[in-house]
Amino acid sequence: MESQPDVAVIVVAAGSGTRLGAGIPKAFVHLAGWPMLAHTLTRVFGIAEPVQVVVVAPPEYDESARELLGLAAGQSEALVAVVAGGDTRQQSVQNGLAALSPSVGTVLVHDAARALTPSSQFDRVIAEVRASGDGVIPGLPVADTVKRVTVDVVQETVDRSHLTAVQTPQGFPRAILERAYAEAGHEATDDAGLVSAIGHPVRVIAGDELAFKITTAWDLNRAALLFGTDRDVLDTRVGIGVDVHAFSDDPADELWLAGLLWPGERGLAGHSDGDAVSHAICDAILSAAGRGDIGSVFGTDDPRFAGAHGDVFLRATADHIGQNDPDGAGWRVKHVSVQVIGNRPRLSARRHEAVATLTRALGAPVSVSATTTDGLGFTGRGEGVMAIATAVLVPVAGGRPRLPALD
Ligand code: CTP
Ligand code: MG
């Protein structure tokens, strides 16, 4: 069953972005790996109640807009539409108004270029339109001193205590906004300007710094910085890996653990060298990348790995997730932490050596710690060694991240 929302959000995304100068329409310029419009829509779908979403896009971007709308809507059964924009913002809004569904009584108009506007700002505008019946616009106090000038000559200082810098979404009772557009006698830079022109009150609520409009390249950089200087923050994945090996009965077996040979210690049983530490790390990495586990990826009967030491598995795992393919769509290990559980060998004396060996093999920082189990269980009885690892992965440079969220 389709919902019957009271609120519609018209997202105007049909501008060409001349001041940004990216060569494509601004709403489709990438920010932190996704078109600006994707960020905007993610936040629109964060509105607390079901809404109709109308995207006004350049006609040649109709399909991209539909794709992004579908992605952002996810499982929600929201009413959505994409319509073609016009030559001016005003014309674009007008085209959006024509697509409103009958149940809609409250309309919000939002610039796609305000890509980081938090969902809460939409919720607050909706609540204030309902409470007041007026037009509602978010605004921020003007911080700079403002002067009126003629070319480059100052005429006067404007009293900034009476000024507010206006953002979107701007919200209105539907009938009021439709009348304002029907009677519009001039081009206005915002919707509230047209509503004021028909004599209907418009009130200001507190805006949000994150709702700034991305107009120039500088604004786009600022938005990118808010996501972190690289995309790592957005797309971090975490994996866990556990491995256990029993001590071997054959006194001739050497002990290899954490990529090191431990002379004089009892060896571990296993198809390879039984290095539970390296294997747990591999499993943690594969699990974070969603690529199964060491058994399914490398196979216990693969002759390349018979008797292989931990470093071989670590290198193969890093390759498998695409860490060494800088232009690929794979993952890079950002950090690994591994804990060894067992009575022997005593890790502490060679901990730094283990860290250096594992870090070198993996090409990413590994931290190593160790503990015993107070005499309990198979590790306490000295029957074997266990290792537990966590891995943090981020996409390699060419990787395509998921839809991010700032708020
Ligand atoms: N907009 C629109 N249709 C137009 C012009 C603008 O839908 N004909 C939208 C833009 O996509 C943007 C919002 O209105 O989301 C605010 O406009 P602005 O920031 O001026 O964007 P552009 O017009 O694209 O940029 P510029 O003025 O630098 O060309
Ligand atoms: Mg413009």
CA 291/CA 48 separation, integer angstroms: 36
Query: What number of other Cβ atoms are within 10 A of residue 36's Cβ?
Result: 28
**Predicted model pTM:** 0.65
Identity at 361, one-letter amino acid code = A
Beta-strand runs (E) in 253-361? 255-257, 260-262, 331-341
Please report, as a single letter, which amino acid is at residue 110: H
Stretch(es) of the chain classified as CATH 3.30.1330.50: 231-395
Are the C-beta atoms of 344 and 382 separated by less than 8 Å?
yes
Nearest listed ligand to the Cα of residue 19: 1
Q: For tokens 């009476």, name the residue.
A: 162
pLDDT for position 327 = 64
Top-tier CATH class for 231-395? alpha beta
Do the beta carbons of residue 255 and residue 266 sit within 8 Å? Answer: yes
Q: Which 3 state secondary structure label does DSSP give 70? A: helix
Ranges in the chain annotated CATH 3.90.550.10: 7-227
Q: State the closest ligand 1 atom to the C-alpha of 214, by its place in the atom list counted from 1.
A: 19
Residue 27 alpha carbon, nearest atom of ligand 1? 11
Q: Which pLDDT score, from 0 to 100, does residue 396 have?
A: 76
Q: Is 245 annotated as a binding residue?
A: yes
pLDDT tens for each residue of the chain, 407 residues long: 457 999 999 999 999 999 999 999 999 999 987 899 999 999 999 999 999 999 999 999 999 999 999 999 887 778 999 999 999 999 999 999 999 999 999 999 999 999 999 999 999 999 999 999 999 999 999 999 999 999 999 999 999 999 999 999 999 999 999 999 999 988 888 999 999 999 999 999 999 999 999 999 999 999 988 876 444 555 789 999 999 999 999 999 999 999 999 999 999 998 788 999 999 999 999 999 999 999 899 876 778 787 789 999 999 999 999 887 766 678 899 999 999 999 999 999 999 999 999 999 999 999 999 999 999 999 999 999 999 999 999 877 544 444 555 54
Cα separation of 195 and 301, whole Å? 74
- Ligand 1 atom nearest the C-alpha of 26 is 24
Residue whose CA is closest, atom 26 of ligand 1?
17
Beta bridge partners of 8: 52, 107
CATH number 3.40.1160.10 is the correct assignment for the domain at 7-227: no
**What is the distance in A from the centroid of ligand 2 to the CA of 89?**
7
User: Which regions of 142-230 does DSSP assign to beta strands (E)?
Assistant: 146-150, 153-158, 164-166, 170-173, 202-206
Q: How far is the CA of 189 from the centre of ligand 2 (A)?
A: 9
Angle among Cα 28, 32, 38 to the nearest 5 degrees reads 45
- Asked whether residue 298 is marked as a ligand-binding residue, the answer is no
Q: Is the CB of 16 under 6 A from ligand 1?
A: yes
Give the separation between CA 37 and CA 34, rounded to whole angstroms. Answer: 8
215 alpha carbon – ligand 1 mean position (Å): 9
CA distance 201 to 196: 6
Distance separating alpha carbons of residues 287 and 310, to the nearest angstrom? 18
What is the total residue count of the chain? Answer: 407
Q: Which DSSP symbol is given to 327?
A: T
